[in-house]
Amino acid sequence: MTSVSVIAGPMHRGVKPINCQERIAYPKRDLILRSYEDKTQRSKTLFARAKKVLPAGVSYSIRDVIPYPFYVTCARGAKLTDVDGNVYTDYWMGHGVLLLGHSPKRVMDAVAEQIMKGTHFGFSHELELELADRIVDLIPSAEMVRFTSSGTEANMYASRLARAHTGRMKMAKVEGGWHGGYDSLHKAVHAPFDIPESAGLDPKALEDTLVVPFNDLDSARSALKGEDVACFIVEPVIGAGGFITPEPGYLEGLREICDETGTLLVFDEVITCFRLSPGGAQVFYGDEADITVIGKIMGGGFPIGAFCGRMEIFERLDHRRYPKMQERAFHGGTFTGNPVSMVAGITTLDIIRDGGVHRHIDALGDKMRRGLEDIIDRSRLSASVTGVCSAFAIHFQKEKPRNAREVERNDTETSKAYFSHLLSHNFALVKPALIHCFTGEPHTKEDIEEYLAATEEFFSSYQG
Ligand SMILES: Cc1ncc(COP(=O)(O)O)c(C=O)c1O
């Protein structure tokens, strides 16, 4: 075992640094976890309670932290404070929702005003038009919009609409693509891609979903050649699967194949829309979808989802035009068009539409990716960096993955050790085996430098 010197840097602001000036040796994960426990005793108590009423003690497995989660009491800008008073720099930013950071003042003020007028009307109101107008304005392929309460629901209704419009029942998706928990799309998210992603999934709901690798036009062409596939659903940049970007010509090629085969091209832009640009991936890459699924950022921190696209397709949702229920595609939901989510979304889109926020967060993203690559170049650890604009991921493998299959080369043990190291330095991220992060408006150059300093410390000292 090799001894290394671990120096506490400026990143330890406001928290008790671990291993400061101490000669320590890897593996030091136990030491790191002990130091985490020392400073999170209240969280530990809450976790003991949580396990009795919430399976695994959490509301979503992705939020689990080993040995137990820290419990957040307050969030402002890019910082989270936990029940023990520890302050974390957040690179998860509410599952990628918080482009403007936690509790941005303009959004909070608009929401506070709305709450006094009503939180949930259950009838039509002008705010839903206002948000729909902005979406149509920003996303080039959007002519009509319907709202949902989550990205999962939006994908479910979008695929139903694609089936209704084309009269075809099959769908195609890519390996590693995550579209939420809707049965028909909850397939081939994790390697080996051919076993069920969950207990309780109905195999009949999955059998019409075809799966192809990302960045592979030949496979897409052969999946769609029977001209019996309603839609090809793809994230323009693979998100949870490791922020993998499309190779030049890939999205354009999909567009062509879909046009040739009468298949609708659906972009799941739940992560990329309003992140890669105010108009999302379609403005950033210049390729247009028939149906676009959105969510996250456009709710301004409140629950939301939506699907939008060409009028000719969306008219299929119109019960006046299609009074027979077997001819129209149903969509609805109690909280659909919720006024609080609408106001938060309107305010957010008004703030970001001129591109100023994007210039800032993209510059931070560039600085982060360049800094990480530089550290990796100087290290004997094999790693690579993916991502674009304000999203970055670190893979402990030499070659940058070009699809989810290649992500499987990631050395997850090293990734988990890196995650624990960053947690001990009070960086809040997910997920230990595949770290993927977002920069947001409140992050500063100094935040990035602190993250890079902690990373440098890990890369120069980790011995496996
Ligand atoms: C690309 C993509 N689609 C769909 C979803 C599901 O959205 P939600 O969690 O709001 O249901 C997510 C969630 O992370 C996502 O990243």
Ligand 1 contacts CB of residue 165 (under 6 A): no
Task: Return the closest-CA partner of residue 234 out of 207, 213, 218, 219.
Answer: 213
Residue nearest to atom 7 of ligand 1 (CA): 151
- Distance from the alpha carbon of residue 85 to the mean position of ligand 1, in angstroms: 31
Q: Could you tell which of 93, 159, 178, 298 is best to mutate to test the pocket of ligand 1, judged by most ligand atoms within 8 Å of the CB?
A: 178
Q: Say what the pTM is.
A: 0.94
The Cα 307–Cα 164 span in angstroms is 15
> What local confidence, expressed as pLDDT, does residue 32 receive?
83
Q: How far is the CA of 295 from the centre of ligand 1 (A)?
A: 8
Distance between Cα 14 and ligand 1 center (Å): 33
Question: Does the Cβ of 269 fall within 6 Å of ligand 1?
Answer: no
Cα 308 to chain centroid distance, Å, stands at 19
User: Roughly how many angstroms between the first and final C-alpha of the chain, as a whole number?
Assistant: 9
DSSP for 134-156, written as a single string: HHHHHSTT-SEEEEESSHHHHHH
Angle at the Cα of 381 (from 379 to 382), degrees rounded to 5? 115
Q: Report whether residue 180 contacts ligand 1, using a CB cutoff of 6 Å.
A: yes
Q: How far is the CA of 155 from the centre of ligand 1 (A)?
A: 9
Q: How far is the CA of 180 from the centre of ligand 1 (A)?
A: 5
Q: How far is the CA of 438 from the centre of ligand 1 (A)?
A: 15
Give pLDDT tens digits along the chain (464 positions).
333 223 233 333 433 333 333 334 455 778 888 889 999 999 999 999 999 999 999 999 999 999 999 999 999 999 999 999 999 999 999 999 999 999 999 999 999 999 999 999 999 999 999 999 999 999 999 999 999 999 999 999 999 999 999 999 999 999 999 999 999 999 999 999 999 999 999 999 999 999 999 999 999 999 999 999 999 999 999 999 999 999 999 999 999 999 999 999 999 999 999 999 999 999 999 999 999 999 999 999 999 999 999 999 999 999 999 999 999 999 999 999 999 999 999 999 999 999 999 999 999 999 999 999 999 999 999 999 999 999 999 999 999 999 999 999 999 999 999 999 999 999 999 999 999 999 999 999 999 999 999 999 999 999 87
Tell me what pLDDT residue 93 has.
98
CA distances from 249 to 126, 178, 215, 284, 373 (A): 40, 22, 9, 13, 25
270 C-beta closer than 6 A to ligand 1: yes
Q: Considering only CA atoms, which residue is closest to atom 4 of ligand 1?
A: 179
Q: 150 CB under 6 A from ligand 1?
A: yes
Q: What residues does each domain of the chain span?
A: 3-23+31-102+356-461, 105-352
No. of H helices and E strands in the chain? 16, 16
**pLDDT of res. 27:** 52
Atom of ligand 1 nearest to the CA of 155: 4
C-beta separation of 448 from 3 below 8 A: no
Q: Is 188 in the pocket of ligand 1 (CB under 6 A)?
A: no
271 Cβ below 6 A of ligand 1? yes
Query: Cβ(69) to ligand 1 under 6 A?
Result: no
Is 95 touching ligand 1 by the criterion CB < 6 Å?
Answer: yes
Q: Domain 3-23+31-102+356-461's class?
A: alpha beta
d(CA 240, CA 149): 20
CB 392 within 8 A of CB 238: no
Going 50 to 56 to 302 to 15, the CA torsion angle's sign is: positive
- Fold observed for domain 105-352: Aspartate Aminotransferase; domain 2 (3.40.640)
Decide whether any atom of ligand 1 lies within 6 Å of the 337 Cβ: no
The letter for the amino acid at 300 is G
Residue 34 pLDDT: 87
Phi/psi at 176 (5° precision): 85, -10
Three-state secondary structure call for residue 402: coil
- Residue 389 CB–ligand 1 contact under 6 Å: no
